[in-house]
Structure 1
């Protein structure tokens, strides 16, 4: 008799918001994100104090280069060594770098070079940190709780953005940039013991018997390279995209472990995404949605507020409306844990959100703009959380770091390129046409989600 590596689909864990293991992970993630927010305040303040505005802008932007160039490699590292190890190592490096610069600023005035070096270090570490952070939830909870975890993660991000800014400003006011860097390092350091205490799901457990995916569905890939061989029937017995299900322990034990190179792992991950019936169109929908969203809601909103005479306070209220809407969407998923017809709902939410983005350029006053921004935040937060949960549940855990890396590269590497393009286009044609054009691009993401049958019918486990 042979026993299967895949457990019955009836394995259901605790609700994530009541699971101490998940709450420890959430506390670690929140502390790290608040530390990040304080770090950016400290870096921007120190750069302005040490150099010209142009030099300060260059220091703030330099971290984006290694992040974009190394992100895909970071996904390979997360899958090879396990996401928890990578996140712990990343936080240790970021903590040490921040505290070192804090000590340097406290003792002397070194100029811009240590700030630029710190930005490069953070950007390089982010390239491995972000894919690992995205792959970690699947290792600390069951599949049926991943949507709720996405909601909890969204609430943590909102909390960090609300608390981190004032906390960083207070640290700068009391002790200068050195104190703010020190505070950022300590907040990031808090996450390390919390992450060490988080228990990983070490056995390959599939909490859903059937998943409409292009590859074999399997459980935890383990915390190191040794776990990758047994984590996935596709990874052991065939190429990504095979339909292997229910692989027996005997068959897995007999299968020879394949030695792969990092480049081979990266190519395998890209092939896996391209061949996947849900992930491939999902990546396209995410890319289109982000490209149409980032420009208007960043540089476009600033130019719109200036054009309408809303001022900085009016723009702040509009951004607050967006934040409240996004927080409400995260809270909804945290409480509900699952929404039925996830692919369908995500597609319509992207479409409706694109209409709201286009309408933002034509509202008559600040109050109406706040209401529209709240709607944009709610719909964008809902679609983003659902897309993230679908990515988590559809991807084979053996590939999840690489899948997250591709998604992060789209959102954080390519989408920000739309900001200077949006600014130039608004200068040439005005806010209305550019907001409408961006809304059309964003809406194409919803069209993709609704027109691809496998993505439209995709469900979250529950």
Structure 2
């Protein structure tokens, strides 16, 4: 029997890559992201409560909606800012600014009742800050972890987002109950402030092109250059179409249509809450799976398949006869669409040239948070005219069109995540 000397093999074997969930640097980033996300949730609850106490329901609705306008209009420009200045600087600056603004509002509410005009102004400023914050957040992960860990980071980010939604609303409600809107605004401001030292402690690995600089280029030229880059890219161009169609078909039924469906079936607000909880459980389970597993094979093929099947489940949600069946379908929708969204996010980050990552992220965010919400009033009007079943079926067809389009794109279908 021959004895194999493994010492050389061991010496030549590269060390195993540390999983993202064991990387202290990634965990500092995740803590900063989670603190900011919980602060966001508390801020919106405090803004909603303060607006309803200061004016009519219609006026409060206007205050809550005005932040969407600058966010949608300036989102693409926010990607240019992230690429020019660097995403960490942008995230730190915006979280610091949000902290100062919200703490200032909290202090003002303690001594006066400034009225709706101040709340509307704060909402507009937050929309502007969101327009630069969101693309920068999406451009950070490739600078804090290796490409093989990006799917894990997307899963961890998804878990943090779900946790922020679950934790933020009760915390905001308790703060309002204890000390009114001023206390809730103050808590949100402290959470925004907490993210700043955590981000300062995060080690950033520069990517190729980070220091190239474009002093001769204007911001508008940078934006046009980014759009041309995406349009000519064999994977990113179809991937962004998939993201746009998936969000366009998905957000209307799950935000507006679900409330109308629950009312039509007699399930009430509690039934709607159970369905949303089922969706959250499914999406959270997918995020946890990817955070632990770290990579999925045949990523391009998988995202198209699960989005198409998830669209079928979305159509089925309007056909199920009972609340428990609807909750089970919602879990399935969360699993499938959550997996598709996370894989799309990881492909977006790994396939983008680092010099364009902020602009690519801003374009995806523009579709998801800028254009897709415009379907809300359309969905409500369509349900009023034709009922929930045809509207859910049409929305599912739009989602499925995104999945089929991705499957028909050879380059996207064959795309893989890095090991």
3-state SS of 1:282 partner: helix
Select 2:146's aligned residue among 116, 120, 142: 142
The answer to whether the aligner puts 1:129 opposite 2:130 as a matched pair is: no
The answer to whether the aligner puts 1:180 opposite 2:184 as a matched pair is: yes
Taking the aligned partners of 1:54 and 1:295, their CA distance within structure 2 comes to: 21
Moved over 6 A (4+): none
Q: Deviations over 1:94-139 (max 9, x none)?
A: 1111011111111111111110011001100000000000000111
**Residue in structure 2 matched with residue 228 of structure 1 by the alignment:** 212
Contact 1:47 1:115 in 2 (8 A): yes
**Residue in structure 2 matched with residue 240 of structure 1 by the alignment:** none
Contact 1:42 1:172 in 2 (8 A): yes
**Residue in structure 2 matched with residue 413 of structure 1 by the alignment:** 370
Taking the aligned partners of 1:50 and 1:220, their CA distance within structure 2 comes to: 51
3-state SS of 1:228 partner: coil
The answer to whether the aligner puts 1:14 opposite 2:18 as a matched pair is: yes
Taking the aligned partners of 2:182 and 2:17, their CA distance within structure 1 comes to: 44
Matches within 5 A, 1:50-449: 50-202=54-206, 219-222=207-210, 227-229=211-213, 259-449=216-406
- Give the TM-score normalised by structure 2: 0.96
Taking the aligned partners of 1:260 and 1:14, their CA distance within structure 2 comes to: 39
Structure 2: tracts of 5 or more residues without a match: 1-13
Taking the aligned partners of 2:58 and 2:411, their CA distance within structure 1 comes to: 48
- Give the TM-score normalised by structure 1: 0.87
Contact 1:171 1:180 in 2 (8 A): yes
**Residue in structure 2 matched with residue 253 of structure 1 by the alignment:** none
Contact 1:138 1:146 in 2 (8 A): yes
3-state SS of 2:212 partner: helix
Taking the aligned partners of 2:369 and 2:59, their CA distance within structure 1 comes to: 22
Q: Deviations over 1:291-320 (max 9, x none)?
A: 000000010000000000001111100000
Contact 1:12 1:144 in 2 (8 A): no
Q: Deviations over 1:134-169 (max 9, x none)?
A: 000111111110010000000000000000000000
3-state SS of 2:88 partner: helix
Paired residues in the alignment total 406
Pair 12,72 (structure 1): closer, same or farther in 2 beyond 3 Å: farther
CA shift at 1:14, angstroms? 2.1
Taking the aligned partners of 1:65 and 1:367, their CA distance within structure 2 comes to: 38
Contact 1:305 1:311 in 2 (8 A): yes
CA shift at 1:12, angstroms? 7.2
Pair 453,107 (structure 1): closer, same or farther in 2 beyond 3 Å: same
Q: Deviations over 1:195-238 (max 9, x none)?
A: 00000003xxxxxxxxxxxxxxxx3443xxxx135xxxxxxxxx
Contact 1:147 1:338 in 2 (8 A): yes
Contact 1:135 1:400 in 2 (8 A): yes
3-state SS of 1:145 partner: helix
Structure 1: tracts of 5 or more residues without a match: 1-9, 203-218, 230-256
Contact 1:317 1:370 in 2 (8 A): yes
**Residue in structure 2 matched with residue 460 of structure 1 by the alignment:** 417
Taking the aligned partners of 2:298 and 2:208, their CA distance within structure 1 comes to: 25
Taking the aligned partners of 2:219 and 2:16, their CA distance within structure 1 comes to: 34
